[in-house]
Amino acid sequence: MKPLNTYSIALALSASLFFSCATREENESIIMDDPNFQPQTEEIMIDDSADINLNSCYFENNDLKIIYSGIGTDSLHWLRKNAMDEFFVFSHDKYIKIAQVGNFKLKIFKPQDTITRSINISVCASAIDAVPPSFTPNNDGKFDTWAPIGKGVKTIQFSITSMDNEKLFESDSLEDAWDGTFNGKPVPSGSYRYKVTGTLINGKAFTYTGILSLSR
């Protein structure tokens, strides 16, 4: 995964609002394989009353297990679309494991009926999309809190310290953002250090360190 350029992302959001006194050398991102990664299998159930179409995704390095849970079936045909846009049968089991994008179908043959389910599989996004270099906690409803932005995150820890390395804030959730206070009181405008570490569901580990600017 290519390291994110936090400046280009933030400045694209608002050139007039997002600013930073940090240099590129003060901000660092490291993406590597998670040494403790264990692949996950997400299970999805399909029965006779399921919607006609199933749209789902799997995380890279993981897979989906799609299980037919209906009863009274004569046979099952799992089909996959090939490069010629033709569907071919590749399994008759009660379930299949998928770790690839594509179009699939399940034909359910019953004594008095045949049911067809369409299955569209894509890749789930898993990444830290941005680590904003600045924010403005002035209660105007715009950029009032600070937190990394990402999806498909398995674990995360991030902290804010003063330039003198006094810890002001820490969190283990993207939903728990810093509001620019310490012990219930607003901290002054200026530069602060951040550190963000964690893992993604796709088996990558990340570390981001740098300087953020707070402006009131």
Q: Which two tokens stand for residue 191?
A: 């530069």
Give the model confidence (pLDDT) of 192-205 as tens digits.
Answer: 999 999 999 999 99
How big is the CA angle at 148 (ends 144 and 149), to the nearest 5 degrees?
95
pLDDT (mean) for 161-167: 97
Question: Are 6-37+125-214 and 41-124 in the same CATH fold?
Answer: yes
Give the model confidence (pLDDT) of 4-43 as tens digits.
Answer: 443 333 333 333 333 344 444 478 999 999 999 999 999 9
* pLDDT score, position 14: 37
The answer to whether the CB of 89 falls within 8 A of the CB of 78 is yes
The answer to whether the CB of 37 falls within 8 A of the CB of 62 is no
Please identify which residue in the block is written with the tokens 């990558």.
Answer: 204
Band (150; pLDDT cuts 50, 70, 90): very high
* pLDDT score, position 19: 39
pLDDT (mean) for 144-153: 98
* pLDDT score, position 26: 75
Q: What is the CATH number of domain 41-124?
A: 2.60.40.10
Q: What is the CATH number of domain 6-37+125-214?
A: 2.60.40
* pLDDT score, position 51: 62
- 27's CB contacts (< 8 A; 6+ apart) are 6, 7, 133, 208, 209, 210, 211
Tell me the domain boundaries of the chain: 6-37+125-214, 41-124
Count CB atoms within 10 A of the CB of residue 91. Answer: 15
pLDDT (mean) for 97-124: 94
pLDDT (mean) for 180-188: 96
Give the model confidence (pLDDT) of 41-100 as tens digits.
Answer: 999 999 887 666 899 999 999 999 999 999 889 999 999 999 999 999 999 999 999 999
pTM higher than the cut 0.75: yes
Identify which has the larger pLDDT, 7 or 208: 208
Identify which has the larger pLDDT, 33 or 113: 33
* pLDDT score, position 49: 75
* pLDDT score, position 87: 97
